[in-house]
Amino acid sequence: MSPFGPIALVAALAYLFFGRVGRKVLAPITAGLVGVALWQLACDLFLSSTNPTPMQTLTALWEIFASDQLWKHSAASLYRVTWGFVLAALTGIPLGLWVGWNVRGFEALNPVIQGLRPISPIAWIPFAILWFGIGDGAGVFLIFYASFFPITVGTMAAVRNISLVHQRSAQNFGLTGLDLFRRVVLPASLPQIITSLRIALGVAWLVIVAAEMVGMDSGLGYLINDARNMGKRYDLVAATMILIGLIGIVLDYLVRKLETFDEVRWGYVNR
């Protein structure tokens, strides 16, 4: 019998009796353990013998940690995501601010942006390989493309959704032009811009894994593909998927730390 079921039950009971602080810690742990227990139950009742159980996946996870594969492939994926995401933020935020603030710029560029945005980054993989070859260049390009549009569109929307009351109040105090933009428009846009960064980073992490599965020779996506081809090691596939999720949680946490700055904290409701 799997040990995850009783552990999940104990965690659920503890969650009910702890205070608010304890619940914030126990809630995700309890949800995760319940999910693992359901995974084990599905393996016992419905899934084939080739499907990895939680314990088999945990063993494979240790196998990845014990080898040099984890650091090598994680570093490759993070390198591509970091460069592509930073470049997208450095270009998408200024462009979104300008297009959102400038009426003529919005009329000229918004149709182009909305026309390119629905094209899946995965569809660009053949061209990325053609232009940059198999390696980091193609990955950085795909991450840039995947991140650029959520950041740009989110920034545009942030600027265009600023209340006219705020703008007119600032104008009554003599703020116009660049001063109005710097002291009112930009600060009011920052909370939504940070939200667009979080969305873009999630999309970027998803895209790089998919791209590495078909067009690169390193990275976590490549590790999944290699494990599948290496005697159908689905336990390694599941273990790598868990690693991808854990790294994604850390990346989202790092971006969310921007919400704690005084300049943007006012834009979030404490619950």
pLDDT of residue 91: 95
> What residue has token string 């790598």?
240
Q: Assess contact for 228 and 241: CB atoms under 8 A.
A: no
Residues 6+ apart with CB under 8 A from 117: 149, 153
Q: In whole angstroms, what is the distance from residue 258 CA to residue 248 CA?
A: 16
pLDDT of residue 151: 94
pLDDT of residue 39: 84
Q: Assess contact for 227 and 236: CB atoms under 8 A.
A: yes
CATH of domain 65-265: 1.10.3720.10
Q: What is the mean pLDDT of each run of 10 residues along the chain (271 residues)?
A: 53 55 66 82 78 87 82 88 94 91 86 90 88 84 93 90 66 64 76 89 87 79 81 83 88 83 59 49
User: Does the model's pTM come out above 0.85?
Assistant: no
pLDDT of residue 148: 95
Domain ranges of the chain: 4-47, 65-265
CB-based burial label for 2 (10 Å; 0-12, 13-18, 19+): middle
Q: Assess contact for 60 and 235: CB atoms under 8 A.
A: yes
